Amino acid sequence: MRRIVGSLGVLPILLLVLVTPALAARPSTAFTGAWEGIDPGDGSNVAVYIAGASTTQVLYTDDDATRACEGAASTRFVSILVGKVQGSEMYTVMKAAKCGTEPRPFFHGLGIVWEIDNGGNDDPSDDVLSNNFGEEYTRSS
């Protein structure tokens, strides 16, 4: 039993290792890249890693998702989403979610709409990404 539990603890790290190169290998759009922000609901750190062009893959993390992970042993939330870009919006659907090592199947199919504001210029360093949860992100440095 200990071996199984210990192996499950490595799963979020393994997901990052496997997903990050897959994300990096895809064509890019204004959405592509690493983004970071603060959850306005609880002040936790949120991050999004986006790859792809018209079809995207998204890795979403929250280091202390108190509401999403209520009742779980860990409040570290990780999810994988797939999406479609249409102009300045990206429509995504959650395919998998975990709090620590505990699956959160009730998030499967959750839709999140993202919008990018390029600040009226072609400089990606001042882009702002937001979603329908009220979260705002800037590009990671």
pLDDT in tens, 81-134: 999 999 999 999 999 999 999 999 999 999 999 999 988 888 888 999 999 999
Q: In the CATH hierarchy, which fold is given to the domain comprising 2-139?
A: Lipocalin (2.40.128)
Tell me if 107 sits within 8 A of 79, measured CB to CB: yes
Residues 36, 53: Cα–Cα separation, whole Å: 20
User: How confident is the model at residue 12, as a pLDDT?
Assistant: 54
Say what the pTM is: 0.79
Confidence of residue 1 (pLDDT cuts 50, 70, 90): very low
Residue spans per domain, the chain: 2-139
User: How confident is the model at residue 129, as a pLDDT?
Assistant: 97
Q: Residue 66: exposed, middle, or buried by beta-carbon count in 10 A (0-12, 13-18, 19+)?
A: middle
Q: Across the chain, how many H-helices and E-strands are there?
A: 1, 9
Tell me if 101 sits within 8 A of 74, measured CB to CB: yes
Residues 100, 69: Cα–Cα separation, whole Å: 9
pLDDT in tens, 12-50: 554 554 555 544 454 578 999 999 999 998 899 999 999
User: How confident is the model at residue 2, as a pLDDT?
Assistant: 46
User: How confident is the model at residue 57, as a pLDDT?
Assistant: 97
pLDDT in tens, 50-87: 999 899 999 999 999 999 999 999 999 999 999 999 99
